[in-house]
């Protein structure tokens, strides 16, 4: 039995050895391409998507955008070469569910230079984040005409010129931050034509003129921040109908007049009001206590007089974390 069993085992081993050369090409054909597919086709945001299709048109546009960014000390844009911006994606590039560039994020990369008009030719772009760099010059007006752009973050750069009025022409923009730049001029009333605008931050620039009352008609607004500019005029009573507004910050301007006494009626979601460091005067409206979600009210460094309404004092005492500074 031992000899017979050994003979059978030897025969099976010989058969496997003979079959191996025939199986090897099949194994290679099925395993190696699959492994490559998992490298080439995997997108951390969308899973397995084929990004191996060339997109020479958008690659060319991106290189033209790069041409304006003349100072790139960290060489972040060095790999922007070839025709495949989505395959093993170029730095800052994301292509959601396909081979069109949908996200461009070059924030915090110490990039200097100008933002050229070519950026507006990326008509599939959904998000543009160039915040915390050293970009200069005007913001391209065509940026408000990009058909799919939903988020525009140019915060903390050195942009000059004005706020593009074309931001109001967009039917897709939801979130806009142009804070901490060197923008001048007035806030264009036309920017309020975008009915879908949710957040707008223009803080820490050198903007002048009034806060456009037209923003009182943008029902989608959740945050409106215009602090630390040189805005004058009054605080718009027209904002009383902004039921979704959560935060309004306009501190550090030269606003005059009284605190609106009609804000307690329809501002159902308002949590924070900061009107400190202006030139407001008059009494603190008692009906501010009717704003159901109010947690922060800052009126200090104004000329607001009189006693704090009892209703606000009671709110301050009964709501944990409530802040009232006057």
Per-residue pLDDT tens, the chain, 326 aa: give them. 444 455 555 555 555 555 444 444 444 333 333 323 333 344 455 554 566 688 999 999 999 999 999 999 999 999 999 999 998 789 999 998 788 999 999 999 999 999 999 999 999 999 999 999 999 999 999 999 999 999 999 999 999 999 999 999 999 999 999 999 999 999 999 999 999 999 999 999 999 999 999 999 999 999 999 999 999 999 999 999 999 999 999 999 999 999 999 998 789 999 999 999 999 999 899 899 899 999 999 999 999 877 777 777 776 666 666 677 76
Name, in order, each residue with C-beta under 8 angstroms of 79's C-beta and a sequence gap of 6 or more.
90, 91
Residue 239 contacts residue 245 (beta carbons within 8 Å): yes
Other Cβ atoms less than 10 A from the Cβ of 321: the count is: 6
Residue 139 contacts residue 116 (beta carbons within 8 Å): no
The pLDDT value recorded for residue 163 is 98
The pLDDT value recorded for residue 7 is 54
The pLDDT value recorded for residue 6 is 53
Distance CA 267, CA 245 (A): 7
Q: Angle 241-247-253 (CA atoms, 0-180°, nearest 5)?
A: 100
303: which strand partners?
A: 281
Residue 127 contacts residue 97 (beta carbons within 8 Å): no
Distance CA 238, CA 219 (A): 11
Q: Angle 135-70-229 (CA atoms, 0-180°, nearest 5)?
A: 10
Distance CA 175, CA 227 (A): 17
Distance CA 272, CA 125 (A): 32
Distance CA 322, CA 296 (A): 6
**Cα–chain center distance at 41:** 27
Residue 272 contacts residue 246 (beta carbons within 8 Å): yes
Distance CA 86, CA 141 (A): 27
Residue 115 contacts residue 66 (beta carbons within 8 Å): no
**Cα–chain center distance at 259:** 31
Name, in order, each residue with C-beta under 8 angstroms of 33's C-beta and a sequence gap of 6 or more.
none
Distance CA 326, CA 313 (A): 12
DSSP 128: E
- pTM of this prediction? 0.83
How are beta strands 134-138 and 158-160 bridged, if at all?
A: parallel
| Cα–Cα nearest to 181, from 224, 229, 248, 120 | 229
């Amino acid at each position: 039995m031992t000899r017979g069993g050994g003979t059978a085992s030897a025969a099976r081993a010989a058969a496997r050895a003979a079959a191996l050369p025939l199986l090897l090409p099949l194994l290679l054909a099925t395993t190696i391409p699959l492994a490559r597919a998992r490298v080439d086709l995997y997108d951390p945001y969308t899973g397995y998507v084929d990004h191996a299709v060339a997109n020479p048109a958008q690659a060319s546009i991106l290189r033209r955008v790069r041409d304006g960014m003349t100072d790139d000390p960290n060489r972040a844009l060095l790999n922007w070469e070839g025709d495949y911006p989505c395959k093993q994606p170029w730095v800052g590039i994301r292509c959601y569910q396909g081979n069109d560039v949908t996200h461009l994020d070059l924030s915090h990369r110490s990039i200097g230079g100008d933002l050229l008009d070519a950026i507006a030719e990326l008509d599939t772009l959904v998000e543009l984040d160039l915040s915390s760099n050293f970009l200069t010059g005007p913001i391209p007006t065509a940026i408000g005409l990009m058909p799919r752009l939903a988020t525009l973050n140019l915060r903390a750069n050195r942009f000059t010129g004005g706020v593009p009025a074309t931001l109001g022409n967009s039917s897709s923009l939801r979130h806009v931050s142009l804070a901490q730049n060197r923008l001048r001029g007035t806030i264009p009333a036309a920017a309020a034509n975008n009915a879908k605008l949710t957040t707008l931050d223009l803080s820490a620039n050198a903007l002048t003129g009034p806060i456009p009352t037209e923003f009182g008609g943008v029902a989608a607004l959740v945050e409106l921040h215009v602090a630390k500019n040189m805005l004058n005029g009054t605080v718009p009573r027209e904002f009383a109908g902004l039921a979704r507004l959560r935060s309004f910050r306009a501190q550090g301007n030269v606003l005059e007049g009284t605190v609106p006494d009609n804000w307690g009626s329809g501002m159902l979601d308002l949590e924070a009001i900061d009107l400190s460091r202006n030139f407001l005067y008059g009494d603190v409206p008692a009906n501010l206590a009717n704003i159901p979600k109010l947690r922060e009210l800052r009126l200090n460094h104004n000329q607001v007089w009189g006693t704090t309404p009892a209703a606000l004092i009671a709110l301050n005492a009964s709501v944990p974390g409530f802040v009232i500074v006057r």
